[in-house]
Amino acid sequence: MNSYFASVEQQANPFLRGRSVGVCAYDSPNGIILASSREAKEKGIKTGCKIINAKFIDPDIFIIENEPAKYRTVTEKFFNILRDYTNQVEPYSIDESFMELTGWVKDFTAAEKIATEIRTRIKKEIGEWLECSIGISWTKFLAKFAGDIAPKKSTLIIRNQNELDAFLKDRDLKDAWGINKKMELRLNSLGIFNLSDLKNYDYLKIKKQLGKYGYYLWCHVNGQEISQVSEKETLPKSIGHSYCIPKRTTNKKYLSMILLKLCEKTGRRLRSLGLEAHRINLNLAFVDTGGINKSFKTAEAMFTSEEIFHEAEKILNELNLYFLIRTVAVSVSTLSPLSKQMTLFQDKFSQQNLSLALDKINDKYGEYTVIRGQMWGSKDLAQDRIGFRKLI
């Protein structure tokens, strides 16, 4: 989907159409634009731009804090359209999905007709202001690559190796899915400076230097499929939340309140997947540079929000904070299915059942309908946010 969050906002509010719109997590001068409208992009306001800089570029830009529920609702609608054409649809992120059409169409021309029909249906059934780019090829990577480099509101097809070579020629390494700045530097050290270099590199050498991941990158740009479209979500390696706090501080009481909210959000996601965690991680980022990252394996598995908060708060209380904190992040890892293992000295089952009961109430009537007393007064802290990333 193109300019997704901003386009959804413009679809919902016709008065925003034709205007520069920036969707952010927090409407503060140093807040970051998560999505900018087509009009804002034409003026140079892109994802990652600070709000203060966006307003300097365009004083009339309309800034909106994101509404995750609104975007998730629209996302489910366009996923449902995709499922009318194949039984293999893999949601990749809130604005992106893979479709496996092998066996459903006979050639690329037929696939292109489906792409056109999907684009028409999105505009007719969901909203005329919503646009998307579609990539078609014979592997997941190449389909995504084609969609990423396709002109907005269009379909790009990579049919064969000759076309692939043409599209890869002189293409920047970071144009490829899975290559970030750090990986780009590692590839540069091997004499690989663009995607054509990567495609023509000796696969044995890259495997030796960068291991399995380097070999996978080589397979991707050579059109070799190494992963299939799957409707099944893979379990995450970790679950967590972060919050860029509006009030830069070293006040542990304030930080503890934020931490409690983040632990509740983390616990909710953990329980929704039926998992328990055995490792806690707390990260505090300083205003200027650097930060503190502490992690340890817990003696008992964590399942309830209180258990997660208890372990995270222990770390916080032991720290000496000499610099102002700008971001708080908590996560749990070493995940496994809930074991139902009994303990000798405490009744874990009643606490687990209580947490699950609260989750059901909040699922039905809205987040934080019922909360524990400790969370009183935290309504405006660490509100629900969503970003462009793999769904889980």
The torsion defined by the Cα of 249, 251, 257 and 263, in degrees rounded to 10, comes to: 70
Which residues neighbour 374 within 8 Å (Cβ) at sequence distance 6 or greater?
Answer: 260
Quick: pLDDT tens for 227-276: 888 766 666 788 988 888 877 888 888 888 889 889 988 998 899 888 99
Task: Report the predicted TM-score, pTM, of the whole model to 2 decimal places.
Answer: 0.73
Banded model confidence at residue 40, pLDDT cuts 50, 70, 90? very high
Q: Reply yes or no on whether the pLDDT at 153 is more than 80.
A: yes
pLDDT at 379: 61
DSSP conformational letter for 101: -
pLDDT at 363: 76
Quick: pLDDT tens for 310-360: 999 999 999 988 889 988 999 999 988 887 665 555 566 677 888 888 888
The torsion defined by the Cα of 123, 128, 129 and 132, in degrees rounded to 10, comes to: 10
Q: Reply yes or no on whether the pLDDT at 298 is more than 70.
A: yes
Whats the size of the chain, residue-wise?
392
In the chain, the domains with their CATH numbers are 4-67 (3.40.1170.60), 71-221 (3.30.70.270), 238-373 (3.30.1490.100)
332 and 293 in contact (C-beta within 8 Å)?
A: no
